[in-house]
Structure 1
């Protein structure tokens, strides 16, 4: 594969790469429970694998940094194994990474996020770091752009965590994350206060994940497949490649205005 992955390069190789690469992709994930059938490194591994594919498609214009393997996951803390960062901790870590990249001549940074709980913090990070450091910071969810594939293949009304979508992505990108013999539907708690606090409601707020699901997952992972994962990942990848190329060429995306969320 043609890509610039910093963890796999020597400094002379990086020096040469920086003659053409002016954007860094920082994969951001989490260490958190993913029900009985997915490993807790899921979000970090999927973010890493998507970053590698994006770098291959955008070669030689981008480099990929080491992955941030922990994220903002307080809602999962009551499930064993979850390690959560405070939002300010994640922003501080990203600040140091972006400062280092700026020192090496990088002028644009994309936080490629594999964990929904990071989104708000990454938006704030982009606002703060762009103003502090004069670096154009953007963030994107790994497969959020795969709207057509998700509409065609995902039929659960509640999905997004260790569900048929995420398990399918793992089948395609990193099958070692999945225990196929343990697949379960989400064991959803109905009538709980979480139902009134979900995104899209007039009032939103924090709730623990066990208030929503007893087994830590939602959707129906038993419906996952490699083919669904391929459709979702490849559509998302194509849209991300298009959006990044427009950014690198100095253009604004008009077809997907929210695909790469800017600093403001």
Structure 2
């Protein structure tokens, strides 16, 4: 694995000769209730990204702050405008593409970033600058989360994210606050009235900031989540590395 930030300009130049794909972790610095750290999302993305053990891949520095305005009522949350985030990620992808690495997997840890990442990816592809594949680390784990927790999908500061933080560094989980997090949590994301979504901010439907059941998280579950996410990422990189860049462009640009 090549960590770009730890290379020199000379060693980076050498590494790029054999590099097919760049990996860019993105996340957020936002509230995850009273038990999990503000950096949960970017720490998860970075940890999964750094499981990559292959010579044809370079891991870029993490983009820690994302689109998190909907958590702004909770202390410590940082956020940026969606367009700013979109352009920033696009600039990073264009930068690495200028060095010859035109295929990028964005390992994303925050749902609020998804729309902006998709827009950036579409624009870069249309302009033939780079092919960017946005990928949430939990994207293909529904069967495992159902096995572990009885439900597919991910909430917020729930059992899944609690387990992942346990796997990253168990000292980051404030175990004494897990029950309080769950007591003030909502059962599901959002709030609707007669089919109209009115839960624009997390504070509209969650007292603690959590969504789900954080007390069900465990180190053992986190290790399995991390292992499976790493395997899925490696398979995605296998696929993308094998694709000629020209084949990834829109039909009308080939």
TM-score range, shorter chain: 0.7 to 0.9
Partner Cα distance (1:63, 1:46) in 2: 18
SS of the equivalent of 1:67 reads coil
RMSD: 2.6
**2:184 aligned partner:** 187
**1:33 aligned partner:** 31
Partner Cα distance (1:7, 1:174) in 2: 22
Partner Cα distance (1:149, 1:194) in 2: 24
1:245 aligns with 2:199: no
8 Å CA contact retained: 1:46, 1:174:
no
State the Cα distance separating 1:209 from its structure 2 match: 0.1
Q: What is the TM-score with the length of structure 2 in the denominator?
A: 0.88
Query: Superposed, which structure 2 residues align to 1:155-194 within 5 Å?
Result: 155=150, 159-184=154-179, 185=182, 187-188=184-185, 194=190
Partner Cα distance (1:205, 1:64) in 2: 39
1:110 aligns with 2:108: no
Gaps of 5+ in 1: 252-261
**1:256 aligned partner:** none
Which of 13, 20, 23 is residue 22 of structure 1 equivalent to? 20
State the Cα distance separating 1:188 from its structure 2 match: 3.9
**Could you report, residue by residue, the CA deviation over 1:114-160 in whole angstroms, capped at 9, with x for unpaired residues?**
00111111111111122234311110001221222101012368952
8 Å CA contact retained: 2:145, 2:151:
no
8 Å CA contact retained: 2:29, 2:41:
yes
Q: What is the TM-score with the length of structure 1 in the denominator?
A: 0.84
Query: Superposed, which structure 2 residues align to 1:1-264 within 5 Å?
Result: 3-53=1-51, 55-56=52-53, 59-155=54-150, 159-184=154-179, 185=182, 187-188=184-185, 194-196=190-192, 204=197, 207-250=200-243
Gaps of 5+ in 2: none
**Could you report, residue by residue, the CA deviation over 1:215-244 in whole angstroms, capped at 9, with x for unpaired residues?**
011211111111111122212221221122
Aligned residue pairs: how many?
A: 245
